[in-house]
Amino acid sequence: MKKEDKILRILERESDGMTITELVKKSKLSRSTVRTSLAKFDGGGKVVIRKIGMAKVYVLKKEGK
């Protein structure tokens, strides 16, 4: 399984979204890999970024929105 697919599957299961730190722990990938993948998803319109205080929470964008 590709690293990006792994991150997408984790985000699919977490409807409330996740921070980079949470994704690193669940995926067992490096912070750099997770951050790069999230930047690609953001650029491709696959995720929505919500700021909660100092944290950024990444939520998978629903199809059709």
Domain containing residue 34: CATH number:
1.10.10.10
Give the chain's domain count. Answer: 1
Rounded Cα–Cα distance for residues 25 and 65 (Å): 29
Helices (H), 1-65: 3-13, 20-27, 31-43
What type of residue is 11?
Answer: L
Range of the domain at 51: 3-60
> Are the C-beta atoms of residues 49 and 57 closer than 8 Å to each other?
yes
pLDDT over 60 (residue 3): yes
As a whole number of angstroms, the distance between CA 7 and CA 54 comes to: 22
| Segment 5-64, tens digit of pLDDT | 999 999 999 989 999 999 999 999 999 999 999 999 999 999 999 999 999 999 999 875
Provide the β-strand partners of residue 60: 47
User: Does any domain span residue 65?
Assistant: no
What's the rounded Cα separation, in Å, for the pair 15 and 32?
Answer: 23
Write down the pTM of the prediction.
0.88
